[in-house]
Structure formats: structure tokens, C-alpha cells
Amino acid sequence: MPIIPPNPNESASYSSLSPSKIISRKPSFRADSFDNHDSKPHKASMTSPTTYTPTTHKTKTVEASIYILGWYIFSLSISIYNKWMFGNGLNFKFPILVTSFHQFCLMILSGSVLWIKPKLRPTINMKSHDSNNVNRSGNSNSKFISFLSIFRIDLFTYLEQIFPCSLASAGDIGLSNVSFKFISLSLYTMLKASSLMFVLLFGLLFRLEKFHWRLLVIVLIMTGSVIMMVKKPQNVGSVSTPEDDRTNFGILLVLGASMMSGLRWSFTQILLKHNDYTNNSISTIFYISPSMCLTLFLFGLGFEGWSNFIQSPIWELQGVFGTILLILIPGILAFMMTLCEFKLLSVAQVITLSIAGIFKELLTIILSALIFGDKLSFINCLGLLITFVDIIWYNYYRFKENQSKELEGYSSLNGKDETEDDEVSVGSSKVDINSNSKVDSIEMKKL
């Protein structure tokens, strides 16, 4: 499974563009400093691997620690901020409209980075256009028009490949943020961990996963753990109350968001496998966020109402500038979180991000208990523990699978005197440079 953003707001699945706890089996790009290396493939040989000195290892460890810290700070900030904003704290009752503005913010920020960093721009439209000259000549209008022309995409291609991913991501993020009105942050975090179950189910449905009995067991175990996580304590009366109804509705919203997350993950694999426009995280955000913004905005108009939004008391209490700032802050945090996540992938393996993601969720639950007073029963905690163990088991299964593929790749390449012209040997994998193959980030080593 290719790792892309996630999208951006991880608490509301801005990790909208990836469950960080999942080790990918399908090929994907390692996000090496967000650089696009497609334009000039490099040759590497099995006989000349990169040498990692103790100093290099120490440097990468320090870098990884910094990126993990940044990822934790921005992700936890988004989770707590959204719960405060849409919950009983600020009680801003327009999560769908606000989330659409988050996507608009992400579009502007990703576009700004692409303007500054030409190497991140897609190369498919640059055969007769040198992107490095966009910012060097002509007036402002011609520069901007030249810049936009680089991202030109056929309407059919956009609707077929990118738009389905946008719809699923919008559903994931929108339902997640709406759920904060009804359930605690702790319960949200626990239930969102079940996204892996839907990732596997949709992966099998779209034939992105090969069926194995272990995958079925993983899904069944996670189904049981979800039931444990939502179980009410025994000392609570069996009579349903309005608060119970609100909680149950919130649970359904989060499970719906998790299902959309699994669907989005499958669409993302297909998108990165067949689409030449989204070969790095920044470019992906730039292409997906406009349609996500429009989709969420239209649903927000239908369910929340524009007149209700502009007449909300918050505009008087916080002022126009203050309210706009409150709305845009999560978008900025989500973008920074995405940068940290993918910079981490440039210096560490996906399994590092996966394990770090588990501890981040535990930290989210602890902070939620300290800040919002969330309480969990023993059964809830046991269900959460089983979920994490299930995720670790899945990661171990994927790690061993990738390891065996590396050995098979090494055996198939061993004994060949030289790499064929149309192939590049990277680590223990062989990549056809005339195709759109992408090397799994666990298997890929920097040249």
C-alpha cells in the first residue's frame, strides 16, 4: 500500500491521507526530502551498496527523533483542538463547513511549496516546459499562468483517478470532525484505530490484497476488540438516555469515517500506482484538496446552512479576524503534520512510523483523560490493548512478507553480471524505469 498523506489532519483522519500504523505491501515512493527523482533515474548495483557509518546512523536517528516529535506535537494539537472546537469547549456547530476551509488552507499551502520547490512539481506536462524557469522571467501573471499549466490534467483522468480518492477522504475527515460533537476524544481515538479492518476488507474487495487466513483472523480479532471498546460499564443502567443516544450516533459516525478511510486507502493505492501527477505528498495534497474542499463545502451548505454559519455568535465573540484564525489553524497544523510524517519516512522505515503511531494514540488517550476528563472501563482498555496487539501482529506479518520478497529479489538478481538497460537495481529490488513501478519504502535504500 503506498504511503501518502495522510491527509492531512490525522486526528480527523487528515492522516486523511494514511493510516500510519499500516506497513505497506504494495510498492510506493519513499519520500526522500519530498524530491521527485523520476526525471533522471539513477543506476545502482547490488555490488555497491551504500555504506552507513556510525555517524550517518546517529544523524539519521537524531533527524527521525525530531520528525517524530514534530509529528506528535502537530497531530496531538489537531486532535485536542478539534475536540475543543467542535465539542463542548468552543461548541462551534459547523464542523463540515469548517473542514472545507481546512482543505482550502491545505491547497494554498501545498501550492506555495510547489511554487518555491520546482523539484516537487509533476514532470508529465513539462516536456516543452522548464519548470525551473517559471520563477525567473516574465511578469507576475505570466509566471502564475506558467505555474498552473504544469498541473494541467485531463478531466477524465481527474474524475476517474483523483476524484474518488477526494470523495472518500472528504467523507473520512467530515464524519470524523462531526463525531467530536457526540463522543469523547478517547473513544474516537480507539474506534479510529479500527481503520485497519476496513483497509484489509476493501483491499481484498479491490484485489489489492491477496487473501490469507491471517488477514481474516486479524479482521475478526479487531471486530471483537471494537465491540469491547464501545461496551458500556456494567454499573451503568440499561435504560437508554439521550446522552447514550448521542454517544451511539457518534460511534456510528466514527465507524463510518473508518470505513471511508479504508475505501480512501484503496483508492489511494490505485491513484499512486496509475497516476503520474501525484508522485509526492505535496503534489497529492494540491490535486486532492480542491475537490475535497468543494465536496465538503456543498455538504456543509446542505446540512449546516450558510446563513446559520455567518450568523453564529462566534463572529461577535471572537471577531471576524479571530474567527477566521480559529478556522484556519487546524489546516496549518495538518499541513505541518504531513510534512513531519513524510520527512520521517525519508530517514526511517515505515515500521518506525507505525510503532510511533501506536504510542501517539496512547498519548492522545492519556491527554484526553487529563484535559477533558475522559474515563474508560477495564473492558474498554482491554479492547484497546487487543487492537494494538492486532496491529503489531499485522505489521510483523507485513515485515516478514517484505523480508522474504527481498530475499527472493536478491536470489533472482544474484549471478547477473550487469543490470539490464531498462531496469534499475535498488537495494534488493529491480525497477523497470520505463514503467510507473514504485519501490516499497521498506525495501528502498538511498543511493
Tell me if 97 is assigned to some domain. Answer: yes
Question: Can you give the residue range of the structural domain that contains 226?
Answer: 6-41+51-432
Q: How many domains does the chain have?
A: 1
Could you tell me the three cell numbers for 243?
Answer: 446522552
Q: What dihedral angle (degrees, nearest 10) is formed by the CA atoms of 270, 273, 277, 282? A: 80
Question: Does residue 443 lie in a domain region?
Answer: no
HEC profile of 340-405: HHHHHHHHCCHHHHHHHHHHHHHHHHHHHHHHHCCCCCHHHHHHHHHHHHHHHHHHHHHHHHHHHH
Strand partners, 6: 16
**Residue 440 lies inside a defined structural domain of this protein:** no
Is 144 a member of any domain? yes
Tell me the pLDDT of the chain (447 aa) as tens digits: 333 334 434 445 454 444 444 444 443 433 344 444 444 444 333 334 445 566 777 788 888 899 999 999 999 999 999 999 999 899 999 999 999 999 999 999 999 999 998 888 887 766 545 544 545 555 667 788 888 888 888 898 899 889 999 999 999 999 999 999 999 999 999 999 888 889 889 988 988 888 888 888 999 999 999 989 888 766 555 556 778 788 999 999 999 999 999 999 888 887 777 677 877 788 889 999 999 999 999 999 999 999 999 999 999 999 999 999 999 999 999 999 988 887 887 787 767 777 888 889 989 999 999 999 998 889 999 999 999 999 888 888 888 887 887 787 767 666 554 444 444 333 333 333 333 333 333 333 332
Q: Does residue 437 fall inside a structural domain?
A: no
Distance (Å, whole) CA 96 – CA 299: 7
Q: Work out the number of other CB atoms within 10 angstroms of the CB of residue 239.
A: 6
Rounded distance between C-alpha atoms, residue 83 and residue 79, angstroms:
6
Tell me, yes or no, whether 445 lies in a domain: no
Question: In the Cβ-directed half-sphere of 117, how many Cα atoms lie within 13 Å?
Answer: 17
427: left (phi over 0), alpha (psi -120 to 50) or beta: left
Amino acid at 175: L
pTM assigned to the model: 0.76
Does 17 reside within a domain?
A: yes
Q: 110, 17 in Cβ contact below 8 A?
A: no
Determine the Cα–Cα distance for residues 221 and 410; give it in Å rounded to an integer. 35
Q: Please indicate, yes or no, if residue 116 is contained in any of the structural domains.
A: yes
Provide the strand spans (E) within 171-320. Answer: none
